[in-house]
A and B are shown apart, each in its own frame.
Chain A
C-alpha cells in the first residue's frame, strides 16, 4: 500500500510541473502584450515599458518561468532599485486590474467556493446514493420508474435555469429568504445558511440526478454477481447483502466520479456563483477573463487544475482502500 502511494505522489508532482509549464506558456501565448494590459486609460509608451521591466516581462521566457515558480514557493520582488514591490510566498502574481496581489484575491474567493462545493457535495451524495440504491432494489416497479423520471428531468435542467427559477420564486416573489449576500459561516452562520441553501440545492439537483443513475446501474450490476448469491446463501439479511456486499462492490466508479466532480467544483462553480452573486473562484476566473487580467487567469487555472490533480491521487488511494486487488499491482 505504501509504495503505491509514494508512486502516486511522485506522479502527481510531475503532473503539477507539466501543468505549471503549460499554464505559464498559455499566459504568454495570448495574442496581446501583457505589459500593455497593465496600464490604465492614461497610457503612454513610457509607462508600458517601465511596467514591462518592473514585472520582468523583458526577460527570456525560461527566466520568467523560474521567477514565477520561485514566487509561488519563496515569494518574489518586482522591480529594482527604489521602486520595488514585495510579493510574499505563495505569490501568484500581481493583478493590475484590481491593484491587488492575486494570492489575496484567491484567498478571499476560495472559501466561498469551498463551502458551496462541499455543501452541494454532501447533499447530492446522500440523495443520489440513497435514491439510487432504493431504485435498484425496486427495479421496474413504480418507485423505480418515478425516481428515474425525476432524475431525467433533474439531469436535463441546466443549473442557470434551476438557479434563476429558485431565485425568482423563493427570493424575489415569495420573499422566503433574503437576497443572497455571502458572509463567512464563522461571522454570521444564519446569513451564511440563508445565502447558501439555494445555491447548494440548485447545484445538487443536477449532480444528485447523475449519482442516482450511476448508483442504480452499479447496484443492478453487482446484485447479479455470484458473490451476492453466496451472501444470500449464507443467510444474510437482504439489507446487509445490499449494504455490505453489493454497495461496496459497486463503490469504485462512484468514488471516482465523486472525487472528480468535487474537484471540478472546487475550481469554481461558475454559473451558480454568478446566479447567486457568490464571490467565489469561478466568478473570479470569469471576471478575470472578461478583463484580460492575465495573472489572475493563470492563477485560477493553476488552482483549479491542482484540485483536479489532488483529487486524482485521493481517488487512487481510496481505490486501493476499497479494492485489495489494486494494492498489489
Chain B
C-alpha cells in the first residue's frame, strides 16, 4: 500500500455562467500522505473549498466541469461512476464544514443523524449503530452522550456541534478527512480544543487531513505541508517549516506580514493592498501581479504579460514568481519575513 492516500493532478474546476466561464480551480496538483495534514491556505474565492468539494465529488451543479486526476486509495475518482464515488463518501473520505449549525439538519436529533451515517454504509442494527455512535460521541468529548443523542442541533453549543460533526465524519474511520475551515465559526478558546481533538483523532485513526483555512496560526499548529492558493491556482507549495521560514512568493509574504506580531514594536498590520481577482477575467500574467508591490523589480513588465510557472525551489518546495533568488532574499530581509541568514 502506497504512502500517499490522495494524489491530485492538474485538477481544474470551471463553472459556465452567463457572465463567462469561472475558473474556480486552475491546474492544481498536490499529494497527501496517510496520517498527515495538508493545509490549503487562501482568501475567500481562491478556490480552496471548491477544489476539496471536487475531490469529494460534491461539485454537482449542471454548469460545472471537473477535469484532471484525483487518485484516492488506488482509485481514479474523476470520471468514476457517481454512485461509486457516493459509496466512498462518508466511508473512506469524509468532510466537515465551517458552520456546524447550518451543516446539521435542524429537524433530526444528533443520534438520528449519526446513526444514519453508520447505516448508510453498513448493515448494522439500530441498537448496534446507537452503541457505536455513543462510543464515538464519548471519544470526541461530548459529556452524557446518551442523553445528547436525543437532542437537536439547536440545543447544543457551537463547539459541541462541531464535535458532533467530527464524530459523524470519523465514525466509519475514513482514510481522508477534509476539514473546510472547521474552527472559523467558533470561539477562540473552543477553536483550540477542536484543533487538539482533530490532532488526537488523527493520531488514533491514522487519518489524512486536508485542512482548508485562512488562518496561518492554525496552519502552523496542524499542518505537515502547505499549499497556498490564489485566484484558483496553487502559488506556493512547501512543507510547513519551509513555508514559514523560506517563503518564496510575494502573496505568501503578504499573508505572513498581515499576521499580528506580539514581539515587534510596530503596531500597524501590513495588509495586502487591493482585492482578489475576478475568476472570470484572470490577469494574463501572474494572477497576483495587479496586487504585487514587487512586480517593478522584474524587467520588462514580465509579471503582467507572462504567467510564471510553479517552479521548484527545492525538492519539496515550489512557487510561482518571476523574482530571482537574490531579489527574494533582499526583499524578505528588508520586510523581515521568514528566516534570512
Q: Which residues of A approach B to under 8 Å, CB–CB?
A: 139-141, 225-227, 229-238, 240, 245, 248-249, 322-325
Contacts and interface: CB of A to CB of B under 8 A. Distances in A.
Interface stretch (B114-122, B194-202, B266-274, B282-290): B114-122
Interface residues of B, number: 31
A161 B88 CA distance: 54
A141 B63 CA distance: 12
Given A227-B105, A230-B105, A236 B120 contact: yes
B90 interface: yes
B199 to A, nearest CB: 21
A325 B106 contact: yes
Contacts of A325: 106, 152, 154
B104 A234 contact: no
Contact of A324 (B62, B89, B152, B169): B152
B70 interface: no
Given A233-B58, A235-B120, A325-B154, A227 B103 contact: yes
Nearest to A230: B103
Interface in B150-169: 152, 154, 165, 168-169
B212 interface: no
A236 B112 CA distance: 14
A234 B107 contact: no
Contacts of B95: 233
A235 B107 contact: no
11 contacts: A140-B62, A230-B103, A231-B105, A234-B90, A235-B90, A235-B91, A236-B86, A248-B105, A248-B107, A324-B106, A324-B152
Top-4 shortest CB links A-B: A235-B90, A235-B89, A226-B102, A234-B90
Name the residue in A141, A229, A238, A322 with the highest tally of chain B Cβ atoms < 10 Å from its Cβ: A229
A233 B106 contact: no
B116 A235 contact: no
B339 interface: no
Contacts of A230: 97, 103-105, 165, 168
B171 to A, nearest CB: 9
B203 interface: no
A227 B90 CA distance: 14
Given A140-B62, A233-B56, A227 B104 contact: yes
B99 interface: yes
Name the residue in B58, B103, B169 with the highest tally of chain A Cβ atoms < 10 Å from its Cβ: B103
Contacts of A322: 107
A249 B102 contact: no
Given A226-B97, A248-B107, A236 B102 contact: no
A236 B168 CA distance: 13
B333 interface: no
Contacts of A245: 105
Nearest to B62: A140
B95 to A, nearest CB: 4
Contacts of B56: 233
B105 A249 contact: yes
Name the residue in A225, A227, A235, A248 with the highest tally of chain B Cβ atoms < 10 Å from its Cβ: A235
B117 A249 contact: no
A227 B102 contact: yes
Given A227-B104, A249-B106, A249-B107, 12 more contacts: A226-B99, A227-B106, A230-B105, A230-B165, A232-B89, A233-B56, A233-B58, A233-B90, A234-B120, A235-B86, A235-B89, A237-B120
B87 interface: yes
Interface in B81-111: 86-91, 94-95, 97, 99, 102-109
Nearest to B85: A235
